[in-house]
Chain A
Amino acid sequence: MNRTLGYFLPVTLLIAVWWSIVVLFDIPHFILPAPDRVATVLFDRFALISVHAATTALEIICGLFLGSIMGFTVACLIGDSKRLQSITMPALIISQALPVFAIAPILMLWLGYGFASKLAMTTLIVFFPVTASTLAGFRALPASWDATFQTLRPRRVRLFFHVQLPLAVPYALSGVRVAASVAPIGAVVGEWVGSSSGLGYLMLHANARGQTDLMFAALVVLCAEALIIWSVSNRISLRFDQKYTANV
């Protein structure tokens, strides 16, 4: 009961504040539509919104999956070598430091206006947090554990797969959790720059036609998608956390 209340209370409060502002200040619907108006648009134009929502969801999920796999793989490849890390780190940091808006037109040029460019944007935005967290996981082996395992005279590859890699899993998933919350940025920015489908595209067109209520409806659906994707990755992450977190 408390948990359900914990989810719904902030949302209810937000809607109440939003509604009060619209009513109290008599704000015209093309500036800030009231929640009931947005709800009506959501129901009336459900078919249209759901098609675009599906495109964005697919971009986010595929980008999150691909970016996580790539981030984890790169971290595994460079995790054991400080030299490789020092060589690749500048490139990784640059990939993150460049604003996605700056890269988006280039990706459009290279990959076209379809799904591939949005997937690339989302993958790019997801890649760094997963890589950085997984690398932190490889560095997290306590010194006393290191000494203990050294006395067991392990083969390097076996130590990596049996000890270091599983210990890095909770860290990697923590990175996925962070990435899940920023992944929609990649997809939506990609859609803004150039696309023919997706919630970003729908918002852009609704804005151009002065359909603020449709814009807000798309925004609400985007928030819901982001929350669902984050919750799922959070659940998966917590499950692995319990299994692989070391008692030190």
Chain B
Amino acid sequence: MTKVIKEVQINETVLSIDQLTLGFPGQDPLTTISWAIHRGQHIALLGKSGSGKSTLLKRIIQGSSSIQCQTQRIAYLSQEPALLPWVSVLDNILLGFKLRGETIVSKHLERAHQLLTDVELCGFQYHKTNHLSGGERSRIALARALLEDADLLLLDEPFAALDRSTKIQMTKLCKELFANKTVILVTHDPRDALGWLDMAVVLTSHGLRGPFDLADFQNDHALIQALDGDL
């Protein structure tokens, strides 16, 4: 029965992109893509620098006539955690409620405290964020995204600026906390995604290639071939 439910969920399309052209105003288009992402999928989005990966995520957030998104609950995490330095960690986590003008009730506070515990920042709720390390700030952003209860998580190399051990710790956290979410992770290093994400797609000038098994990219040669669009 559980298996049937999971199959139904997986087949439900969360995001559907039809002939979306990526590029910058006044420049030649980078590429045109079509893509369907199903609920619960965890996908690594690979591509060379400047191939349009981050632009694609931002276009999904902004919306377009070529993009059909079944949910409004989207969370975005980038290398810059976007934390306000003049408010506390707790207020940063609850920022979404404040910006929407929603009343913060006790269940929100309880959830926020629980999430702080989950991201191993229990006791930091009243600290100011500019006194925290990069890893700690990333975890606060993670907690905020989780509190928003987003269906679709767009992660734009959120841990790229962190050291290897913190990155592994963050990846482990994401694997646990994002288990039931739909995730697109932009990364240059497929090792970040191994053991967490289901598959990889590669954004090239000829469109999206894949899906590939992440294990295929454990040697650099295969990864370079894929990034060049030759795989």
Given contacts A166-B86, A243-B85, A246-B85, contact A152 B80 (CB under 8 A): no
Q: Which candidate, B9-17, B92-100, B110-118, B165-173, is the interface stretch facing chain A?
A: B92-100
Assess whether B86 is in contact with A243, with CB atoms less than 8 Å apart: yes
Question: Which A residues are CB-close (under 8 A) to B100?
Answer: 152-155, 158
- The reply to whether B129 and A247 form a contact with Cβ atoms under 8 Å apart is yes
- Residue of A142, A143, A162 near B98 (CB, 8 A) is A162
A228 interface contact, C-beta 8 A: no
Residues of A within 8 A of B86 (CB): 166, 243-244
**Cβ A151 vs Cβ B137 within 8 A:** no
Given contacts A152-B148, A247-B83, contact A147 B57 (CB under 8 A): yes
Mark B29-57 against chain A: 1 for CB-CB distance below 8 A, else 0. Answer: 00000000000000000000000000001
Proximity string of chain B (67-101) to chain A, C-beta cutoff 8 Å, 1 when within and 0 when not = 00000101111111011111000000001101111
Complex Cα–Cα for A148 and B78 (A): 8
Report the contact-size class of chain B (Cβ under 8 Å from the partner). Answer: 20 to 34
Return chain A residues, CB-CB under 8 Å to B75.
151
CB-defined contacts of A247 to chain B, threshold 8 Å: 83, 85, 129-130, 137
B61 at the interface (CB under 8 A from A): yes
Contacts of B74 in A (CB 8 A): 151
Nearest CB of A to B120, in Å: 20
Interface centre among B80, B95, B130 (most CB of A within 10 A): B80
Which residues of B are found within 8 Å of A162, using beta-carbon distances? 84, 95, 98-99
B147 to chain A, nearest CB (A): 10
Q: Please encode chain A, from 55 to 72, with 1 for each CB lying within 8 Å of some chain B CB and 0 for all others.
A: 000000000000000000
Q: Contact: B80 with A158, CB < 8 Å?
A: no
B192 within 8 A of A: no
Q: Say yes or no for B20: interface residue by CB 8 A criterion.
A: no
B169 CB to closest chain A CB, in angstroms?
A: 20
A158 touches B129 (CB 8 A): no
Set B58, B72, B82: member contacting A149, Cβ < 8 A? B82
Asked if A245 is an interface residue, CB under 8 A from chain B, the answer is: yes
Is B194 located at the chain interface by the 8 A CB criterion? Answer: no
Residues of B within 8 A of A246 (CB): 84-85
Report whether B99 and A152 are in contact in the complex, using a CB–CB cutoff of 8 Å: yes
Interface membership of B27, Cβ < 8 A: no
Nearest-neighbour CB distance to chain B for A166, whole angstroms, equals 6
Given A148-B82, A163-B99: 19 more A-B contacts, CB < 8 Å: A144-B78, A144-B80, A144-B82, A145-B82, A148-B76, A150-B61, A151-B75, A151-B154, A152-B95, A152-B148, A154-B96, A158-B99, A162-B95, A163-B84, A243-B85, A244-B86, A245-B85, A247-B85, A247-B129
Residues of B at the A interface (CB closer than 8 Å) are: 57-58, 61-62, 72, 74-80, 82-86, 95-96, 98-101, 129-130, 137, 141, 148, 150, 154, 156
Q: List 25 A-B contacts (CB under 8 A).
A: A144-B78, A144-B79, A144-B156, A147-B58, A147-B78, A148-B76, A148-B141, A149-B82, A150-B61, A150-B62, A151-B75, A152-B100, A153-B99, A154-B96, A154-B99, A155-B99, A155-B101, A158-B98, A158-B99, A158-B101, A159-B99, A162-B84, A166-B86, A243-B86, A244-B85
